[in-house]
Amino acid sequence: MRVQYYTATSLDGYIADEDDNLDWLTKYAPPDPPPDLKRDTSSYDEFYAGTGAMIMGSTTYEWVLAHVDSWPYPDKPTWVLSSRDLPSPEGDADVRIVAAEVADLREDLTAAAGERNLWVVGGGPVVSQFAAAGLLDDVIVTVVPVALGAGKQLFAERLPGGPMRLVEARPSPTGMVELRYEVVRAA
């Protein structure tokens, strides 16, 4: 199992605006798009198929509940880090709301993911916990060519260790670029 942070960010490093809004991403349209442009979802589809379990913070979870008609991950056990009581999604979603440190959940997350990977959906504080515990393996980020100027940062704090290793860069005709990094751990 690999622990993978898969997200989108603005060009200036924000995953949401100051009000936790994602309109800059969900309503993104490239200027002067090619006439035959189709949104390429193959990268996401490939990534999602390799995901066995998910973890997110309460802000991300509440945004999904408020903005998506039905739980979009019905086939994936999902942990939500929160010390508050939160509503459960409708249907058969396997959502576990826990007040715990990510290192304490590692065994359960690994068992749930099985042969597949763990997706750290967001946000910055959650992925920063994984990095600080030495549990983050990959950062897969799609850079969207918009600048927000302020908002929720890609990471909540400086990551331990040195630079990450670029594994792949996938440009899109939309102007977005997916960057895949591997976390390099000290020997």
* β-bridge mates for residue 80, sequence order: 56, 97
- CA atoms of 4 and 149, how far apart (whole Å): 26
Asked whether the beta carbons of 88 and 73 are under 8 A apart, the reply is: no
Homologous superfamily of 3-20+39-182? Dihydrofolate Reductase, subunit A (3.40.430.10)
Q: What are the tokens at 28?
A: 């993104």
Question: Structure pTM?
Answer: 0.91
Helix 102-113 × helix 124-132 angle, to 10°: 90
Asked if the bond preceding 123 is cis, omega within 30° of 0, the reply is: yes
Supply the pLDDT for residue 37: 61
- CA-based nearest residue to 126, from 1, 6, 2: 6
Cβ atoms within 10 Å, residue 168: 11
In degrees, to the nearest 5, what angle opens at C-alpha 51 toward C-alphas 46 and 53? 160
CA-to-CA separations, 181 to 62, 161, 186, in angstroms, rounded = 28, 14, 16
The pair of three-digit structure tokens given for residue 75, joined into one six-digit string: 């086939």
- pLDDT at residue 40, rounded to an integer: 61
Local mean pLDDT, 10-residue blocks, the chain (187 residues): 96 94 89 66 87 96 92 96 93 93 95 97 90 95 96 90 92 90 85
Strands 51-57 and 177-182: unpaired
pLDDT at site 172: 86
Domains in the chain: boundaries = 3-20+39-182
The pLDDT assigned to 61 comes to: 95
- State the pLDDT at residue 56: 97
Cα separation, 143 vs 176, in Å, equals: 6
Question: What is the structure's pLDDT at 34?
Answer: 65
Predicted pLDDT of residue 33: 67
Q: CA 7 to CA 116: how far, in whole Å?
A: 18
**Predicted local distance difference test score (pLDDT) of residue 41:** 62
